């Protein structure tokens, strides 16, 4: 994972390139995580069909944070990306470089206001200091009275060149 994160990190980023990186991360998030409802078997099948490369242990551990799951590298000409699927039903896409505003716009557009009677509600928005600079986080819940689950989506971005990842898109489901 360290190698994946450092490849190309010294290359200067143009504004257009960082927007393209954010847009690509949003597409990965929609395809891998949202469409597959963060279900690990479905995310895995999608990663196989997309011909992503599984990142083996111990390198995958940097993305799993001690949880069981699988990590795939999705590096391409645009930059370094990973898809992370935790076995407890969380999926994330992480972009080494990404324009924060484009990431936020894409994240918000990827979440419809209503999904079959379920309603999207913003539950938090904050900025906190980290060792590499400010980290912005925006979270939503999607659910309804009759829904047996609550879906939580989160976007975290950093504009710092020192941040290990500049954009992280996540979705998780939990039973009520």
Name the DSSP letter for residue 164: S
* Tokens matching residue 116: 């079959």
CA proximity to 105, closest of 43, 2, 22: 22
Predicted confidence at residue 78, as pLDDT, reads: 93
What is the H or E stretch that residue 6 is in? helix 2-6
Predicted confidence at residue 155, as pLDDT, reads: 97
For the chain, residues with pLDDT lower than 50 are 1-12
pLDDT digits (tens, 9 = 90+) for 57-80: 899 989 998 899 999 999 999 999
pTM for the whole structure: 0.87
Separation of alpha carbons 145 and 135, rounded Å? 33
Predicted confidence at residue 14, as pLDDT, reads: 65
Predicted confidence at residue 15, as pLDDT, reads: 65
Predicted confidence at residue 13, as pLDDT, reads: 53
Looking at the DSSP assignment, which residues form a beta bridge with residue 124?
139
């Amino acid at each position: 994972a360290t190698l994946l994160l450092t490849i190309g990190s010294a290359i200067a980023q143009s504004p257009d390139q960082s927007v393209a990186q954010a847009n690509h991360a949003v597409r990965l998030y929609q395809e891998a995580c949202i469409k597959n409802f963060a279900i690990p078997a479905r995310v895995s099948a999608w990663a196989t069909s997309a011909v992503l490369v599984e990142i083996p242990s111990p390198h995958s551990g940097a993305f799993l944070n001690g949880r069981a799951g699988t990590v795939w590298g999705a590096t391409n000409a645009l930059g370094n990306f990973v898809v992370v699927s935790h076995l407890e039903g969380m999926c994330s896409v992480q972009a080494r470089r990404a324009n924060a505003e484009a990431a936020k716009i894409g994240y918000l557009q990827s979440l419809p206001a209503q999904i079959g009677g379920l309603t999207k509600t913003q539950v938090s928005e904050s900025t906190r200091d980290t060792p590499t600079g400010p980290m912005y986080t925006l979270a939503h819940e999607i659910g309804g009275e009759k829904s047996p689950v609550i879906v939580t989506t989160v976007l975290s971005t950093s504009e710092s060149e020192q941040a290990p990842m500049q954009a992280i898109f996540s979705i998780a489901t939990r039973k009520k």
